[in-house]
Structure 1
Amino acid sequence: MQLPRWTRSFWLGAATLALSLAGVSKAADFLHESPAERDARMAWFREARFGMFIHWGVYAVPAGEWQGKTHYAEWFLEQTHMPVSQYEQFARQFNPTRFNARQWVRLAKEAGMRYLVITSKHHDGFCLWPTALTDWCIRSTPFKRDPLGELAEACRAEGVRLCFYYSIMDWHHPDYAKRRPWNDRATGEPDMDRYVAYMKGQLKELITRYGPLGILWFDGQWEDVWTAERGRDLYNYVRSLQPDIIINNRVGKGDVGDYGTPEQHIPATGMGEGVDWESCMTMNDHWGYNKHDQNWKSPATLVRNLIDCASKGGNYLLNVGPTAEGLFPEPAIERLKAIGRWMRVNGESIYGTQASPFRKTPWGRATRKPGVVYLHVFDWPKDGRLLVPLRNQVRRVRALGSPDARFDLHRQEEQLLLVAQGVKPDPLATVLALEIEGDPDPVVVYPEPDARGRLTLPAEDAVILGHTARLETKGGRPNIGFWTDAKDRVRFEARFRQPGRFRVEVEYALSPGSDGSRIRVSAGKAALEATLHSTGGWDQFRTIPLGELDIRQPGVVAIEVTPLAKPGEAVMNLRRLVLTALP
């Protein structure tokens, strides 16, 4: 078996293709469409809310292990610096005879997933379909079938939308401009224009052979050889082939694309009004198959991630990394089935919903549809009493998993107090449907100092004002991390019944390389400044006093944390502020 040869027919085809595509991309401009046109195109995506991501390729053969190290997956070639000629030998061993497309799609469908995104070509350049444009594809393996064709047929049969991931970056192709030193197969000078022609030819194959597709999910756009202009051109080209296709924001440099793609995290407050987005996340710690990675998220975590995304107006794209034999790992199957059991009961609270009307709900999350607010209660109260910050008149309350449950409704100040009987709590999330009159009219509830004068402001309550800082989890608790832009700041809001002087403490983590960060904590016109020293690492948290602040007026007060100096890579990881009233 010869691996691979860049065929003469490809180069002739590429030259013709480059000429023909130039006219197409210039003639079509899909970057400007009316709000109604965009809404029509995005409608199914907003309805779906839940999809399956699949990372699969020849990197599944080493299964994450090489020369005693066990942390590899789909980035195997880049991380090991293995010569491309050696990496190609994995294709000889890629023979997934146990692959069953219908089974994969049914597992996704039974989990409640409405669409499926699979890596047609990842960064290693290997193509999961028998492309006419290179031999570095499924044809060069013992497995002579067409996995993408079989998945396309299975998706049509099961009513699941087929979508393709496609990497712009290519560590294998000789014309990709940022050629790796270990690409010992490539000869001559790279030619990015010729590579783009190759890429467009492959995208045309994918759309015309297996489409219509739901999404083209691009990735690998961050290297400087890929420009904003090329991104806009590629967006237009793909839409010229299928005008109603959806394209993610990784096609360009932030100026083009139909939706945002936060990776391995859920934005603390979504991505803003009118912005479509989708969090892609792994079930364990790797995208591709790694036989050593048994750090699987619990079904409760996965279901609550889905709820969290929907409650902030986004989608959840949950990944599976199949084995080289073509099987989903058994722990992944178990989790998919657990999610499916929950979705069969509670799916109406996810599909087609909009973001929560509430700023914060201490018992969980909320979603809504016209006339209905869904409450997702993570820890059901033992006394069955639930306080909901909602002013509306409630016509009816339903417990989705307990059809015989009964509810008494009361008012506690402006909020709605539900007193439930007969609800069977779900350990993943218990869902109540409140059928209301009119649009949701939420009550804004601000944290207040407790009876001892202590006010805790955790990271998850903060409004992050900026572009890099975001909510993450370390040690099982949320913190604001990735605070690499000193222009970003963090705001909390709290209600003070009376003025007073408060001691301010911060719980934070800081690496030695970022020692000496300086911050200002302000409340109205009062402020204090402090220098933060290393705690030993980004996951080693410490609580220290910062100083004292005067709260001069009662009422709602904005408390802001603003960087003054960032000598290292980030300001800090912020877990919480604590204010304690002084005598």
Structure 2
Amino acid sequence: MKIIKKIALLGLLSTAVLSSNAQSIPYEGVSGWEETKDSRMAWFREARFGLFIHWGLYSAAGGSWEGKQYPQHYAEWIQAWAKVPSKPYAEVLKPKFTASKFDASAWASLAEEAGMKYVIITSRHHEGFSIFNSQQPYSLKNDITGGTNISPKGRDLYGEVVKAFRAKGLKAGAYYSLLDWQHPDSYEGLSYLNPNPTGYKPNHEVYKDYLYGQVKELANNYGGLDVLWLDFSSKNHQGESWGTKRILTDLIKWQPRVIVNNRFWDGLENKNGDIGTPEKYIPPTGLPGMDWEVSHTMNESYGYSAHDQNWKSFDKTMRLFIETVSKGGNFLLNVGPDGEGAIPEKAVKLLKDIGQWMKVNNESIYGTTASPFQGLDWGYCTQKDGKLYFHVFDIPSNGSIEVPLASTIHKAYLLGSSKKSLKISKSAAGKTIQLPADFKGQMPMVIVAEIKGTPQVIQQQILTQKDGRIILTANNAKLIGTGGIKLIGATTHDPNRPNAIGDWSKKSDQVAWDVKIQRPGTYKIVVNYLPHEQKSGTISLSLGTNNLSYQLKATKGSQFVDVETGTFEISQQALGDTALKAELKALEITGNSLPEISSISLVPVK
């Protein structure tokens, strides 16, 4: 997978290719792609849920080399972490990659049971070894690793996977690395891991031919190719660095229905391919105007790591899954089998648990589009065909959910129990739906609301939490202004950071929330922000008759912190107001912007 910072650190990429620095354009301008996009993407937009499989020679190492465990969270990078030249790397791991427990049909059955509609498997990763039987001369025999094909004699592991998944009616695609740490004519093959005593100068045109030849094999030798999932590019090597125009010109002829992701080009959110590919993070507002897919892991690593036991819970995984779909994306959930082809038991259990939920609730996933709401305190929403699907993760204390919707809800019910209508009431804040008190199923519960036409959304009101707090988050904030203020979210290298209000560089910009006061009293005001040694400023917060200002000082920090800024007095009279507007303004900005602000909490003083 893509680790830009690590590559810069390791010096894996050179800066030689001038053609790659030219402005990239969608599909390198090749005809046939843009014109057929909607028809090619139809199944992908319906699917919403797929399986990612990272399986290769690195799987046999399991995240360790010569007895040393490497804690880095991408075990498929073990060759780079341990700085092993390709020759000894191959000599040690080829005998260990036996695939002796591999059962392609069992993998396909597990994916089908989980409710997945497609699979993407690593046909080859960055070390240059492939689980498909390439007939390229370098793959068949070379002086560095002997050869790049690692399927056991008489077998083609990639072909077995494709055949088994298609037999279940699932789509099948190939992950294919554009990097190659062993090929002497690649951009990085002789620059870091492998010695070059003769001073050989790589011929990148030879490498482009090699890439073309292998993509041609994947497209033509396996009964079809539903997705070509590339990885990866950089500012210095993208587009024509890989011979992209030639590949795309012929690929659309070989496979007219194929989907290609955006990693022929730099940037996980670039729009030059069919789909954007955020890695281990969900864009705060999705990626409007394009198709996209979040790839995520069950633990930390994509490739198998024997010591990576940081498994995500069912609840955590479902929140990532539903949030992605609610923002209009697909969710590509990864498994990393070991060198024998066994999927870890905890991964199997998680997939089976998801499958149980999907059996009841898949209607709220397949073919849905993004939520019409900016944010919902209790969960997420998807929609299609006159129906809103409310995924309730956190049941409010009063047993009902508030929905900022002006449209009439003709009927509401628990998905799977359409004959039992739920009570609906309306207010100035929208609609209130009483949740079933006897729900015994897996969370999140899914409530269906039937409406007519396009949902008419009203400004969401922030309600009091169970513990009395009022939390104004970046997710449910209204950002006002044209100075560049925006939501900044998690990244591949910091997937757990909260969304925050960032790039606030103009005092004319401001932030607002509508707050429904439900409890009078004294509240501490706590700001959660990210300190920065070159960013500071003074902010003001007002709510009703209350107002305070606070200076966010320039200090070094790498984590969001809480700071208490003062108190507000909320009167009994405020309870009668439909809503109060909370306004956050910048009185002073020092540096290029204010520090990022994740949330402001009003905490009741007892």
TM-score by length of 2: 0.78
Deviations 1:258-288 (A, max 9, x none): 111111111121112x321111111001010
Q: Does the C-alpha gap of structure 1 residues 39 and 299 become closer, same or farther in structure 2, counting only changes over 3 Å?
A: same
In the TM superposition, what is the alpha-carbon distance from 1:319 to its structure 2 partner?
0.4
CA contact (8 A) 2:279 2:491 kept: no
Match of residue 532, structure 1, among 548, 553, 565 = 553
**2:574 matched residue in structure 1:** none
Match of residue 518, structure 1, among 511, 536, 541 = 536
**1:260 matched residue in structure 2:** 276
Structure 2 letter corresponding to 1:345: V
Q: Does the C-alpha gap of structure 1 residues 485 and 84 become closer, same or farther in structure 2, counting only changes over 3 Å?
A: farther
**1:42 matched residue in structure 2:** 41
**1:432 matched residue in structure 2:** 447
Deviations 1:456-510 (A, max 9, x none): 4224334786799314799998523797998999964213799xxx997532344
**2:218 matched residue in structure 1:** 206
Structure 2: where are the runs of 5+ without partners? 1-26, 518-522, 569-578
Structure-2 separation of matches of 1:445 and 1:482 = 18
In the TM superposition, what is the alpha-carbon distance from 1:240 to its structure 2 partner?
3.4
Structure-2 separation of matches of 1:182 and 1:371 = 56
Deviations 1:330-384 (A, max 9, x none): 0000000000000000000000001111122211111110211111111234653
Structure 2 letter corresponding to 1:59: Y
In the TM superposition, what is the alpha-carbon distance from 1:242 to its structure 2 partner?
1.6
In the TM superposition, what is the alpha-carbon distance from 1:185 to its structure 2 partner?
7.7
> Is the deviation greater in 49-58 or in 395-404?
395-404
TM-score by length of 1: 0.81
Q: Does the C-alpha gap of structure 1 residues 572 and 143 become closer, same or farther in structure 2, counting only changes over 3 Å?
A: farther
Residue 121 of structure 2 is aligned to residue 118 of structure 1:
yes
Structure-1 separation of matches of 2:550 and 2:62 = 50
Q: Does the C-alpha gap of structure 1 residues 483 and 126 become closer, same or farther in structure 2, counting only changes over 3 Å?
A: farther
Structure-2 separation of matches of 1:145 and 1:466 = 55
Structure-2 separation of matches of 1:475 and 1:222 = 19
Q: Does the residue aligned with 2:263 lie in a helix, a strand or coil?
A: helix
Structure-2 separation of matches of 1:391 and 1:119 = 47
Q: Does the residue aligned with 1:334 lie in a helix, a strand or coil?
A: helix
Structure-1 separation of matches of 2:512 and 2:76 = 43
Structure-2 separation of matches of 1:474 and 1:260 = 17
1:466-485 mapped onto 2 (5 Å cutoff): 469-471=488-490, 479-480=498-499
Structure-1 separation of matches of 2:193 and 2:280 = 29
In the TM superposition, what is the alpha-carbon distance from 1:194 to its structure 2 partner?
1.4
> Is the deviation greater in 206-215 or in 140-149?
140-149
Residue 173 of structure 2 is aligned to residue 163 of structure 1:
yes
Residue 584 of structure 2 is aligned to residue 577 of structure 1:
no
1:183-202 mapped onto 2 (5 Å cutoff): 183-184=194-195, 188-202=200-214
CA contact (8 A) 1:520 1:564 kept: yes
Residue 258 of structure 2 is aligned to residue 245 of structure 1:
yes
Structure-2 separation of matches of 1:191 and 1:77 = 24
CA contact (8 A) 1:92 1:140 kept: no
**1:146 matched residue in structure 2:** 156
In the TM superposition, what is the alpha-carbon distance from 1:221 to its structure 2 partner?
0.9
Q: Does the residue aligned with 2:342 lie in a helix, a strand or coil?
A: coil
> Is the deviation greater in 481-490 or in 327-336?
481-490
Q: Does the residue aligned with 2:111 lie in a helix, a strand or coil?
A: helix
**2:187 matched residue in structure 1:** 177
**1:218 matched residue in structure 2:** 230
Structure-1 separation of matches of 2:89 and 2:506 = 43
CA contact (8 A) 2:404 2:461 kept: no
**1:65 matched residue in structure 2:** 64
Structure 1: where are the runs of 5+ without partners? 1-24, 549-553
**2:112 matched residue in structure 1:** 109
Q: Does the C-alpha gap of structure 1 residues 398 and 555 become closer, same or farther in structure 2, counting only changes over 3 Å?
A: closer
**2:17 matched residue in structure 1:** none
1:280-359 mapped onto 2 (5 Å cutoff): 280-359=295-374
Structure-2 separation of matches of 1:126 and 1:101 = 20
1:403-482 mapped onto 2 (5 Å cutoff): 405-421=420-436, 423-447=438-462, 456-462=471-477, 469-471=488-490, 479-480=498-499
Deviations 1:310-339 (A, max 9, x none): 111111010000010101100000000000
In the TM superposition, what is the alpha-carbon distance from 1:538 to its structure 2 partner?
2.1
CA RMSD of aligned residues (A): 3.8
Structure 1 letter corresponding to 2:600: L
**2:23 matched residue in structure 1:** none
Structure-2 separation of matches of 1:62 and 1:51 = 26
Structure-1 separation of matches of 2:184 and 2:207 = 8
Structure-1 separation of matches of 2:158 and 2:528 = 49
**Identity of matched residues, %:** 34
Q: Does the C-alpha gap of structure 1 residues 506 and 387 become closer, same or farther in structure 2, counting only changes over 3 Å?
A: closer
Q: Does the residue aligned with 1:79 lie in a helix, a strand or coil?
A: helix
Q: How many residues align?
A: 536
Structure 2 letter corresponding to 1:263: E
Structure 1 letter corresponding to 2:191: R
**1:545 matched residue in structure 2:** 565
**2:101 matched residue in structure 1:** 98
CA contact (8 A) 1:409 1:418 kept: yes
**1:12 matched residue in structure 2:** none
Structure-1 separation of matches of 2:211 and 2:472 = 49
Q: Does the C-alpha gap of structure 1 residues 411 and 473 become closer, same or farther in structure 2, counting only changes over 3 Å?
A: farther
Deviations 1:27-70 (A, max 9, x none): 9523542xxx3221111111000001111111011110124233
Structure 1 letter corresponding to 2:130: C
Match of residue 584, structure 2, among 544, 555, 559 = 559
CA contact (8 A) 2:53 2:335 kept: yes
Match of residue 87, structure 1, among 86, 89, 94 = 89
In the TM superposition, what is the alpha-carbon distance from 1:427 to its structure 2 partner?
4.2
